[in-house]
Amino acid sequence: MNQKRKNETGVGGRMSKRLRRSKPMCCCCSSPKSRFLTLRPTFNCYEVDIWTEIAKFMGGRCLVMLGSVNRWFYRLILKEDSVWKFACLRDLQVPEPPQHVPFSWLKLYASAFDGSHSYLFRQPEKHIDWMRIGAFYIDSSYALLTETLILPLRIPQGKTTLEMLESSGSFIIRHVKTGIWIADLQLVRCPVCNLETCEGTMQTLDARHIELFHTEGYQNGSWEYEEIGAHEIKKHSDGASGGIFDIKHLRDPCTKEVVDLKSWGAKPNDWQPKARISMHAVAVNTNLQKNEGLHVKFHVMRAGVGGEVVSIRISQQLL
């Protein structure tokens, strides 16, 4: 019993010494909780500038989820167009358009990232598969369309589109709507034809102005694609290529990288399509097995009769 009491006393003695060495509590010291309560009246958790800045680091899905939290966030996120403008330009990696945009940036963001593409609205029965390439920018209203990717790029000479295609495999189109363009690579079924060698599929470089899906002429079907050029390559082709270039930026280093097919094209025996995009150009290429040539078609959609070009298609079909 004495030994037990001695042990208890010894432990108790050591504990009492620790407590005596500890710094005594002072009534003037404030806890973290009390400091928070002191600062809370001056902090507004619904600060517009703070949440607008935070929103710049959020993706589209997260922004929609934040906007559904309550009415305040709904008004800030889903009604504040500057938030979606920043998100759209950031995710598309393009500069801000110099002119006013007639549609809300929320709608433009949705049509760019909700999985929509032109064949979804037009000719869905012909569509097989697609992939998003990215976005580029046209600011000169002149575009070079080409079926070949050869350095250096030159402005084609000729009075007609056919002459330019025959001499260089490219030609120029005018009155292209300036601004942001979205490019996709489409795999579609060929139109009804009598070509016995056709395997039934066609590769299409499909580019459209970012506002296209929201325009009345496109939605009601009054704007249609028209063929503006065609060319047959009556010999074996190593690959099916196509490119769209802003004439003003043909000499830019980033444009030259798009034309340099050796730097980004697929290796031999790789049949997967490849694409390259820069600030002012886009190009695609797919290696081909033994063939007898290609039939290349160029289509554009205009904003009404004599209107600006708002969509471009370059299609390759095996002969």
31 in any annotated domain: no
Shared domain for 47 and 162, answered yes or no, is no
Q: What's the whole-number average pLDDT of the chain? A: 83
52 in any annotated domain: yes
Shared domain for 78 and 191, answered yes or no, is no
Last residue of a domain, one of 95, 110, 125: 110
Work out the pLDDT band at 2, boundaries 50, 70, 90: very low
Shared domain for 245 and 133, answered yes or no, is yes
Q: 19 pLDDT exceeds 70?
A: no
284 in any annotated domain: yes
Shared domain for 124 and 224, answered yes or no, is yes
* Residues of the domain holding 100: 42-110
Higher pLDDT, 46 or 237: 237
Q: What is the pLDDT of residue 248?
A: 94
Q: What is the 3-state secondary structure (H, E, C) of the chain?
A: CHHHHHHHHHHHHHHHHHHHHCCCCCCCCCCHHHHHHHHHHHCCCCCHHHHHHHHCCCCHHHHHHHHCCCHHHHHHHHCCHHHHHHHHHHHHCCCCCCCCCCCCHHHHHHHHHCCCCHHHHCCHHHEEEEEEEEEEEECCCCEEEECCCCCCCCCCCCCCHHHHHHHHCEEEECCECCEEEEEEEEEEECCCCCCCCCCCEEEEEEEEECCHHHCHHHHCCCCCEEEEEEEEECCCCCEEEEEEEEHHHCCCHHHHHHHCHHHHCCCCCCCCCEEEEECCEEEEEEECCCCCCEEEEEEEEECCCCCCEEEEEEEEEEC
Q: 192 pLDDT exceeds 70?
A: no
Last residue of a domain, one of 75, 94, 110: 110
Higher pLDDT, 58 or 33: 58
